[in-house]
Amino acid sequence: MNVNQSAPPVPPFGQPQPVYQGYHQSSYGGQPGSTAPTTPYGVYNGPVPGYQQTPPPGVSRAPPSSEAPPASTAQAPCGQAAYGQFGQGDVQNGPSSTVQMQRFPGSQPFGSVPLAPVVSQPTVLQPYGPPPTSAQVTAQLAGMQISGAVAPALPPVGLGYGSPASLASASGNFPNPGLYGSYPQGQAPPLSQAQGHLGAQPPQRSAPPQASTFTSPASGGPRMPSMTGPFLPGQGFGGPSLSQPNHVSSPPPQALPPGTQMTGPPGPPPPMHSSQQPGYQLQQNGSFGPARGPQPNYGSPYPGAPTFGSQPGPPQPLPPKRLDPDAIPSPIQVIEDDRNNRGSEPFVTGVRGQVPPLVTTNFLVKDQGNASPRYIRCTSYNIPCTSDMAKQAQVPLAAVIKPLARLPPEEASPYVVDHGESGPLRCNRCKAYMCPFMQFVEGGRRFQCCFCSCINDVPPQYFQHLDHTGKRVDAYDRPELSLGSYEFLATVDYCKNNKFPSPPAFIFMIDVSYNAIRSGLVRLLCEELKSLLDFLPREGGTEESAIRVGFVTYNKVLHFYNVKSSLAQPQMMVVSDVADMFVPLLDGFLVNISESRAVITSLLDQIPEMFADTRETETVFAPVIQAGMEALKAAECAGKLFLFHTSLPIAEAPGKLKNRDDRKLINTDKEKTLFQPQTGAYQTLAKECVAQGCCVDLFLFPNQYVDVATLSVVPQLTGGSVYKYACFQVENDQERFLSDLRRDVQKVVGFDAVMRVRTSTGIRAVDFFGAFYMSNTTDVELAGLDGDKTVTVEFKHDDRLNEESGALLQCALLYTSCAGQRRLRIHNLALNCCTQLADLYRNCETDTLINYMAKFAYRGVLNSPVKTVRDTLITQCAQILACYRKNCASPSSAGQLILPECMKLLPVYLNCVLKSDVLQPGAEVTTDDRAYVRQLVTSMDVAETNVFFYPRLLPLTKSPIESATEPPAVRASEERLSNGDIYLLENGLNLFLWVGASVQQGVVQSLFNVSSFSQITSGLSDLPVLDNPLSKKVRGLIDSLRAQRSRYMKLIVVKQEDKLEMLFKHFLVEDKSLSGGASYVDFLCHMHKEIRQLLS
């Protein structure tokens, strides 16, 4: 929502409101209310005279949604209370609202369905007219929210989970238009805690009979003054107030005849407060914003629904209850709102503790003293002052750091600062580097370290006078005094053995066993390398890369090649003693490409021919890595090995493995052994590689089990990558493999790197996740680090923090560039500190939280049973939300689930992590797949985990063909698929094109060049290149999605009702999974139950 938009023209509180038939309007703020016909309802807890069957004038009801509930949620199990009693939301449109939702602290009422008798809670209510009895107040307030005229206070916080009206077309998948109000001109929202309410009920063993009514001592008495608004669960409403732009109700799953309007007794507004409206009590948690239409999920009563607050009518069979999926928090909606609100303005990093836009929003960053969120994202930007408070909230304090992240072209790379022989200026005590937070004192002759408070002398050559504010007059001329991220050229003191490094080398190590030759892999690879070697990474401006290259082929033995430029033909040397590996040649093994071009081309032509008739099926693996590392050691340089490997290394040699794949171990205590390496030999080898600065990238082409858990140990510990192409076939997988290879060879890498994270007094880094090695507790050692890799750091308190000074992080990365230059890259970030839990919950970043929790869980499976890991995640999430409920939310009925605004997507995303292949594998998921995904996620950044766990589903025929923008996504659920449409689904690794069975023939012809649905080839991996607008648009969209991801996504065309559809449905993460994972709705109810248990 834009704070500067003017509010819709509505009378504020304290002025007479419009009156509708059936609504008694009492005096507001002392002004006499207009008279209105008397209510058709009896008093609370009195008999109901009957429902009004005709809608009030001016209100028409949309026909109920015909969409069938999914099988997984439609029927409640016997003996359990069903989860919710509402179907898809109906819409009654008034004038469209033009406001949009900001990521303000606000709240989500999601329809409350208390199961147990509601506990009366004392509530302060400003009298509007005659003061009601306390019993009436309690009976009416429990589980109720207000929606009335716009008051110039409280943010328009709820998420009705329709889209805002202005986004209705953009977010295509929601039937409900906007439920957001707007701020008056120029007024900021008050800082009140956000929360959402959801009336999900956990299953109960025996539902108490009195759960369907409120009990109240006062069963008679005058009716309370009332305003229109959402009602107690099970009550309906008489008609929308004119001040509400959109009016939404949810019909029950049993369809009502069109035109039927249910009405129920309206309730009073909760107390509200505004600086301009004295006399109204502040609602502490900001849970009910002004100008909200009634919430979806406050369903109108229907035959058989419990009517809270009145005596039940004659017993009638209850329809199956279920939560309306549109009324629970929608990831799509949150992403859409953030894009609209924060995508247009640059994110300026000058202010401490700002929460950045979501990773799904395109935004520009202006560095003004704090590192860009592209480099560092935190789980919370406001951290508790004490460890007790942190333990109470259970919110992990972590930062996901991507030190060499690539920036978009419109943002400048970090400046390189050269301080000459004296090197970068540092604190004498804690060794932190000069940064914008250092305080200069004594006229600029000394500075106080912002991390440890030590006073240091400023060297004479660095001295500069201070201005009247105490800032150096050259602050804006020096990147290290004005920017959050910058680089220093390192002096010789920062180099190994006190000498500057040589440029790094790349060694290509190619498996030439029978499988690799027969599949066509070797020929394809050699052909590609001829041209690819021209594109090795280079420092900006240089004409050619400084990187030298070498070549090795292997099966049971290793073949080294001398490609010295003076030779007419390459020479091969064979090392068959794999137990004691050595490099048979030094001169001529690592060469400059431009000098040895002819010899290298000749070698790459010869390799496929030399081994064309091989019958050797066995391979070695550890000796190959050993050989590459020894070659780099002999050349005294760092570098990278590119290994292309096809099978389990069973030949007699160090690192020999056996097939230990055993699906019977799944769901047992021994399951963790499937993720652990078979032998300790690879850890030892990895340690030697890191010491040499030898990074390993592994390309696997398995036809069966190859023990990825063991083979990936060296890539994982050296900062490398693993790529896996199961059952590789040139015609199907060529494009994916070559695209990954090109990107991997060309990307900028920092070699022989060491990273340290320093913090200001009060917190310290205690745990690290990612692809690296650690020989002590503070230094993250990376033989190689590229722009895709992240290191996740968890912090704990070791002292009390101060709200005024906040907390500081400094990440320093020492590395060798592609040109052999030793550099230091520094990233600084200042965070706020708080003494109120509400401030912590208001400044969290759910995407980063999920990134951390997934990595924590994926490391946990190495040492604990998978079930224990899953339970730990659920418990932690429940504790986070229960702490918010207990300490930050205002009292409300236990039947409501209350979520903080910033964390309302925590349950849906956490459920996706719990259902992932690592933690809950389906029958078709191999052990190797699980190990592969486990190590992939370990170094993913926040944007990658976001789309990996909650895939994007894009309808292709909804948006106009001429539109150049990406079509708006829909929620990842089968309910959202229409069989007359085509959808693209992507999760960063996979790309599916789902074709509905009723797609128009013209669309099929335009995309697939066949005349009917039945003629489309299922499993097709590329679309024909056709000269028509739809074909161009879809192929262009696929290309742009691939360009956004770090790995090439191979396309799979899936037809509705086809056998491949099961694979596609695995990615519809809001639904129940075949492996037993809960649907989003079920998991939300389960979380609610867990929270209630913790609170009771």
pLDDT digits (tens, 9 = 90+) for 733-775: 999 999 999 999 999 999 999 999 999 999 999 999 999 999 9
Which residues are within 8 A (CB) of 654 and not within 5 positions of it... i.e. 6 or more apart?
578, 579, 622, 623, 626, 681
992 against 286, higher pLDDT: 992
Residue 1079 — left, alpha, or beta (φ > 0 → left; ψ -120 to 50 → alpha)?
A: beta
Q: Which pLDDT score, from 0 to 100, does residue 1054 have?
A: 96
What pLDDT score was predicted for residue 358?
97
Give the model's confidence band at 318: pLDDT under 50 very low, under 70 low, under 90 confident, else very high. low
**The tokens 């449109």 sit on which residue?**
93
Four-residue CA torsion sign, 966, 967, 968, 971: negative
Confidence at 45, pLDDT banded by 50, 70, 90 = very low
Residue 244 has pLDDT above 70, yes or no: no
> Binning pLDDT at 50, 70 and 90, where does residue 395 land?
very high
Q: How confident is the model at residue 281 (pLDDT cuts 50, 70, 90)?
A: very low
- Average pLDDT value for residue range 530-546: 89
Kindly state the average pLDDT of the residues 128-143: 34
Residue 60 has pLDDT above 60, yes or no: no
What would the mean pLDDT of 1021-1027 be, rounded to a whole number?
A: 94
Helix (H, G, I), strand (E, B) or coil at 43: coil
pLDDT of residue 319: 53
> Rounded to whole angstroms, how far apart are CA atoms 186 and 1096?
43
Q: Would you state the structure tokens that stand for residue 993, as one six-digit string?
A: 């094109």
For residue 1096, the model assigns a pLDDT of 87
pLDDT the model gives residue 405: 97
Is residue 220 scored above 70 in pLDDT? no
Distance between CA 88 and CA 1081 in Å, rounded? 13
pLDDT surpasses 70 at 106: no
- Mean pLDDT of the 426-455 span: 96
The pLDDT assigned to 139 comes to 32
Please, which residues bridge with residue 808 across strands?
A: 830
- What pLDDT sits at residue 989? 95
Structure tokens that stand for 892 in this block: 């409300």
Measured distance CA(415)–CA(1004) in Å, rounded: 52
Would the pLDDT of 305 be above 70?
Answer: no
* Tokens read off for 426: 């540092």
Nearest of 201, 214, 233, 216 to residue 115 by alpha carbon: 201
More confident residue, 635 or 47: 635
30: number of Cβ within 10 Å: 10
Closest C-alpha among 723, 632, 725, 629 to residue 682: 629
Write out the DSSP string of 303-352. Answer: TT---TTS---S--PPPPP---GGGS--HHHHHHHHHHHHSSS-EETTST
Mean pLDDT of 26-43: 39
Assess contact for 851 and 769: CB atoms under 8 A. Answer: no
Average pLDDT over residues 202-229: 33
Q: Print the SS3 string covering 898-951.
A: EECHHHCCHHHHHHHHHCCCCCCCCCCCCHHHHHHHHHHHHCCCHHHHHHHHCC
Question: For residues 659 and 669, what is the distance between their CA atoms, to the nearest angstrom?
Answer: 20
Among 833, 834, 841, which residue's Cα sits nearest to residue 884? Answer: 841
Question: What mean pLDDT is predicted for residues 684-689?
Answer: 97
Residue 830's pLDDT is: 97
Position 645 pLDDT exceeds 50: yes
- pLDDT bin (cut points 50, 70, 90) of residue 958 is confident
Contact call for residues 359 and 809 (beta carbons, < 8 A):
no
| 1090 or 236, which is more confident | 1090
Mean pLDDT of 546-553: 96
Least confident of 101-115, 303-317, 377-391, 449-463: 101-115
Tell me what the mean pLDDT of segment 1027-1043 comes to: 94
**Rounded mean pLDDT, 245-267:** 36
Q: What size, in residues, is the chain?
A: 1096
Rounded mean pLDDT, 548-574 = 96
Q: What is the pLDDT of residue 774?
A: 96
Between 13-22, 109-118, 504-513, 675-684, the lowest mean confidence (pLDDT) is in: 109-118
Secondary structure (DSSP) of 498-550: GSPPPPPEEEEEEE-SHHHHHTTHHHHHHHHHHHHGGG----TT-SS---EEE
DSSP secondary structure letter of residue 599? H
User: Which tens digits make up the pLDDT trace of 705-721?
Assistant: 999 999 999 999 999 99
The sign of the dihedral angle between the CA atoms of 427, 430, 433, 435 is: negative
Q: Assign 1036 a pLDDT band (cuts: 50, 70, 90).
A: very high
Q: Chain-wide mean pLDDT for the chain?
A: 78
Q: What is the mean pLDDT of residues 655-674?
A: 93
195/703: higher pLDDT: 703
What's the pLDDT tens digit per position in 1060-1091? 999 999 999 999 998 889 999 999 999 999 99
Least confident of 3-17, 358-372, 539-553, 565-579: 3-17
Please say if the pLDDT value at position 724 is more than 60: yes
* pLDDT for 238: 36
Given pLDDT bands bounded at 50, 70 and 90, which one contains residue 103?
A: very low
What mean pLDDT comes out for the span 1001-1028? 94
Please give the pLDDT value at position 67. 43
Helix (H, G, I), strand (E, B) or coil at 597: helix
Query: Which residues have a Cβ under 8 Å from the Cβ of 317 and sit 6 or more positions away?
Result: 304
Question: What is the spatial distance between Cα 384 and Cα 315, in angstroms, rounded to a whole number?
Answer: 52
Contact status, residue 125 vs residue 270, Cβ threshold 8 Å: yes
Among 240-244, 443-447, 968-972, whose mean pLDDT is lowest? Answer: 240-244
β-strand 246-249 against 365-366: which pairing, if any? Answer: unpaired
pLDDT (0 to 100) of residue 960: 84
Longest dimension (CA), the chain: 107
Least confident of 783-787, 887-891, 997-1001: 887-891
> Between 521 and 320, where is the model more confident?
521
Residue 697 in tokens:
């990238």
What is the pLDDT averaged over residues 872-898?
A: 93
291-304 as b/e: b if 16+ CB within 10 A: bbbbbbbbbbbbeb
Give the 3-state secondary structure of 212-248: HCCCCCCCCCCCCCCCCCCCCCCCCCCCCCCCCCEEE
Cβ proximity of 631 and 693 under 8 Å: no
Q: How confident is the model at residue 923 (pLDDT cuts 50, 70, 90)?
A: confident
Which of 115-119, 586-590, 803-807, 981-985 is predicted least confidently? 115-119
Is residue 90 over pLDDT 90? no
Alpha carbons 563 and 570: distance in angstroms, whole number:
5
Q: According to the model, what pLDDT value does residue 315 have?
A: 53
Amino acid at 227: M
Q: What would the pLDDT profile of 563-617 be if each residue is shown by its tens digit?
A: 999 999 999 999 999 999 999 998 999 999 999 999 999 999 999 999 999 999 9
Spatial contact of 163 and 177, defined as CB atoms under 8 Å apart? yes
